[in-house]
């Protein structure tokens, strides 16, 4: 897969810091100031992550606001839940490989809708202390906590594997490894062209701020 968007962001970033670069065979080339492509990629990755974080905070955790601002961050992936130690859940690793997961959204299994519950309620649900949050096989729910997606009712995957289409907000990362996105790699930036400048400017600010700090210590 070509990393066209990532490369365009990299070129915009490098122009701002007056170190313009080109690309060869779809891969960004080193500059004269930043001489390692990996360093360019790291600045861009940090800028993209900052953009997601800042927007999430500005939206006060309202995923619908974030979805309207950045629809390209919405991803759908078929996953399988397993039953173990009395509860059904989906691992982020293994056969599912969703290491770019940021926040789970209402999903579905065929015609059955799956709601999202607040993970802060996990203990109350497990112990039965919260009688309001009740799920059944026709009205299941899920929550994302500590790297797992828990399904309710707790035994929904006990008899057979429970498959569904997971809808989630993704981070700008490689979903298979959790690594940052690489120029010429298998995965491109999820951001549309409207956001190239904002990301490039954030990357440049990170670069200038860090180099000013470095200069002040020498």
Answer yes or no: is 61 within a domain.
no
Domain assignment of residue 41, yes or no = no
Q: What is the DSSP letter of 119?
A: G
pLDDT at res. 67? 80
Q: Which two tokens stand for residue 175?
A: 């979903």
Task: Give the pLDDT score at 127.
Answer: 83
pLDDT on residue 125? 85
Contact 76, 146 (CB under 8 A): no
Q: Would 36 be classed as within a structural domain?
A: no
Residue 215's pLDDT is 59
Residue 149 lies in a domain: yes
Residues paired with 112 in a beta bridge: 109
How far apart (Å, rounded) are the C-alpha atoms in residues 102 and 121? Answer: 19
Given this model, what pLDDT does residue 130 score? 76
Contact (CB, 8 A) for 186 and 116: no
Q: Could you tell me if residue 165 is inside a domain?
A: yes
The answer, yes or no, to whether the previous bond of 216 is cis (omega within 30 of 0) is no
Is 77 inside any structural domain?
A: yes
Average pLDDT, 10 consecutive residues per value, the chain (218 residues): 91 96 95 96 97 86 81 90 92 80 93 93 84 86 92 89 92 93 95 93 96 65
pLDDT of residue 185: 95
Domain housing 130: 69-170
Residue 95 in any domain: the answer is yes
How many distinct structural domains can be found in the chain?
1
Q: What's the pLDDT at 132?
A: 76
Does residue 38 fall inside a structural domain?
A: no
Which of these, 127, 135, 148, lies nearest to 82 by C-alpha position? 148
């Amino acid at each position: 897969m070509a990393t066209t968007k990532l490369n365009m962001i990299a070129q915009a970033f490098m122009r701002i810091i007056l170190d313009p670069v080109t690309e060869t065979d779809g891969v960004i080339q080193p500059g004269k100031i930043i001489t390692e492509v990996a360093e360019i990629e790291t600045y861009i990755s940090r800028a993209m992550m900052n953009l997601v974080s800042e927007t999430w905070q500005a939206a006060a955790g309202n995923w619908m606001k974030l979805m309207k601002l950045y629809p390209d961050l919405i991803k759908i992936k078929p996953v399988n839940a397993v039953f173990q130690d009395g509860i059904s859940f989906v691992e982020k690793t293994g056969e599912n490989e969703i290491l770019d997961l940021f926040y789970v959204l209402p999903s579905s299994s065929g015609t059955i809708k799956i709601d999202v519950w607040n993970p802060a309620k996990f203990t109350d649900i497990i112990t039965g202390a919260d009688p309001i949050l009740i799920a059944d096989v026709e009205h299941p729910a899920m929550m994302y906590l500590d790297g797992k997606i828990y399904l309710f009712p707790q035994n929904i995957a006990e008899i057979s594997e429970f498959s569904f289409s997971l809808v989630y907000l993704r981070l700008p990362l490689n979903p298979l490894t959790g690594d940052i996105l690489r120029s010429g790699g298998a995965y491109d930036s999820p951001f549309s062209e409207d956001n190239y400048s904002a990301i490039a400017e954030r990357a440049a600010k990170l670069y200038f701020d860090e180099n000013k700090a470095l200069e002040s210590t020498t």
